[in-house]
Amino acid sequence: MSYLQLEGIGKRFGDFTALKDVTLGVSKGSIHALLGENGAGKTTLMNILYGFYQPDSGVVRLDGRELSIDSPRQALSDGIGMIHQHFMLVDNLSVLENVVLGLPGGLRLKLTDHRRKLIELSAQVGLNVDPDRLIWQLPIGMRQRVEILKALYRDVEVLILDEPTSVLAPTEIDAFLQILDNLRSMGKTMLFITHKLDEVFRVCDRVTVLRRGNVVGHAQVSESTPQEISRLMVGRELAQPVELPMVVQGPVVLKVRALSANNDRGIQALNSVSFEIRAGEVLGIVGVDGNGQAELADTIAGMRHAQSGEVYMRGQSMLGHDVASRRKRFRVGYVPEDRHSTGLVLDFTLWENAMLRDHRRSPFSRFALLKTKRAREITKDWCSRYDVRMHSVDQQVRFLSGGNQQKLIFAREVECDPDLLIVMQPCKGLDVGAIEAVQGVVREQRQAGKAVLYISTELEEVMAISDRIGVMCAGHLTGVLNRADATADLIGSLMTSTASQEVLS
């Protein structure tokens, strides 16, 4: 019998069925992957296991004992912890204070004893973190370690990991997967929600696949292939990667010259960057996260002030124009990295988010009056054409999965017919089906003669979609390569060098 058993779990939200008769078993001391497209029900199922939601039907058993989990506190008491995609830490407290926060006694505890215990636990698991550092001083990868330590400090036996590598730089992922291996050797049981099949095949023992709230398959990882798992996830064969079709490129649309900008702390993050993009061209930008890519996208889109340099759209300077002007006058579309804080208003409905950038213009308004019925009709059409899975355009956008939120943003930006489309980490946290859809939209924009600036930390993703590839390191554009000349080794060397070199088409 499985150590952790979920039997017949069902959950509805109004008329929407999120989970239907879900059953799965997890062996003790194993890493069990939970896969599925965005909106398949993975996070809902784990939120039930952690006590955020209560199921409408079904039971949860741990080590043969039936549980009644009505809150996260009860889940922790039963030995179940969860590491969320968005961390639950207090920035102004230390690592140690965050770990003990919520324990009986709170911050009145004897921190000396807890510091010693935390250091011992960190060493045992391989999660070495300074207990006295403030959270805001830590990089993202270290903050994730603190979240894991918080759970382990409470003696959990089952650890739920919700998209744990989506916030990590590529250089941090190997170390994280080694930590999971260490936890498995300690006998911990883990449920691993991810979209990255390479990680599943590197570290997981078994996999369960959900599709639209139903279990569609279980498999031993060692007896499966990525193609078989992908087919289960999306219910069809994924299209094979194809060569980009020939497009006759037009005139220069975007020209960036010696552009420099600071980050949020006032430190220079972009250093004299120059490039151009033609109509019908995708310029991909790749680099380790945090090397100026976000500042580049924000500065071109008008969300960050340039310290020096120039940005031209079809020969006209955009500097000095605000975001709204760049969108409307210069026809710039922007899909930002952070869907939640920049791309959407989470408490707004789908139709309200759909008209955000053009709510003062036809077809969304007339004579300064919103045409709400028309806005709903347009949003329904967009959701149909871009496969945004929802139960109503009147639902709050926060209740969409990440992939469906991303497809809604793409619909809004693309349907405004931009001359330049800027996309920043567009496939981050998406499943294979949603990635295919997003990249299909980018290819369509290229075919339509639009200029696309495509920024990602995923090298394979950039190489598959781009005509030319730029590489960033320490705020410098260290190379621009023709697609045919770009190799992983050459790009890798440019990602660690600030000496500029350029290969032009």
Q: What is the pLDDT of residue 89?
A: 92
Check the CA dihedral 59-63-67-73 and report its sign. negative
| 3-class state of residue 101 by DSSP | coil
pLDDT of 433 strictly over 90:
no
Banded pLDDT at 504 (limits 50, 70, 90): very low
Q: What is the pLDDT of residue 234?
A: 67
Q: What is the pLDDT of residue 494?
A: 84
Q: What is the pLDDT of residue 505?
A: 36
Banded pLDDT at 308 (limits 50, 70, 90): very high
Q: What is the pLDDT of residue 242?
A: 56
Per the DSSP assignment, residues forming a β-bridge with 60 are 6, 67
Higher pLDDT, 20 or 435: 20
* Weakest-pLDDT range from 171-180, 183-192, 377-386, 403-412: 171-180
Q: What is the pLDDT of residue 502?
A: 46
The secondary structure of 327-378, three-state, reads: HHCCCEEEECCCHHHHHCCCCCEHHHHHCHHHCCCCCCEECCEECHHHHHHH
Check the CA dihedral 47-50-55-61 and report its sign. positive
Q: What is the pLDDT of residue 67?
A: 95
Mean pLDDT of all residues in 261-279 = 93
374-407 residue pLDDT tens: 889 999 999 998 888 888 999 999 988 887 898 8
Mean pLDDT of all residues in 318-327 = 90
Please, which residues have CB within 8 angstroms of residue 492's CB and are 6 or more apart in sequence?
none
**CA 304, 310, 315, 318: dihedral to nearest 10 degrees?**
30
Mean pLDDT of all residues in 281-295 = 89
The distance in angstroms from the start CA to the end CA of the chain is: 61
- Helices 432-447 and 226-234 cross at an angle (nearest 10°) of 80
CATH code reported for the domain at 4-234: 3.40.50.300
Mean pLDDT of all residues in 155-174 = 83
Pairing between β-strand 316-317 and β-strand 306-313 as defined by DSSP bridges:
antiparallel
Percent of the chain with pLDDT over 90: 56
235-265 residue pLDDT tens: 665 455 556 667 778 999 999 999 999 988 8
Question: Going edge to edge, which strands form the sheet with 4-13?
Answer: 16-26, 4-13, 57-62, 65-67
Higher pLDDT, 40 or 397: 397
pLDDT of 57 strictly over 90:
yes
Q: Is 415 buried (19+), middle (13-18) or exposed (0-12) by CB count in 10 A? A: middle
104-116 residue pLDDT tens: 765 556 788 899 9
Mean pLDDT of all residues in 324-329 = 89
Alpha-carbon span 45 to 47, nearest angstrom: 5
Residues in the chain: 505
Alpha carbon distances (Å) from 213 to 36, 84, 209, 228, 404: 9, 20, 10, 19, 15
pTM beyond 0.85, yes or no? no
Domain ranges in the chain with CATH number 3.40.50.300: 4-234, 239-331+418-505
Residue 15 and residue 58 in contact, taking contact as beta carbons nearer than 8 Å: no
Q: What is the pLDDT of residue 237?
A: 54
Topology, domain 239-331+418-505: Rossmann fold (3.40.50)
Alpha-carbon span 461 to 459, nearest angstrom: 5
Residue 494 and residue 487 in contact, taking contact as beta carbons nearer than 8 Å: no
Alpha carbon distances (Å) from 394 to 43, 351, 375, 379: 22, 7, 11, 10
Residue 76 and residue 101 in contact, taking contact as beta carbons nearer than 8 Å: no
Q: What is the pLDDT of residue 138?
A: 86
Mean pLDDT of all residues in 321-331 = 90
Residue 457 and residue 289 in contact, taking contact as beta carbons nearer than 8 Å: yes
CB atoms within 10 A of CB 85: 14
Give the mean pLDDT of the chain. 88
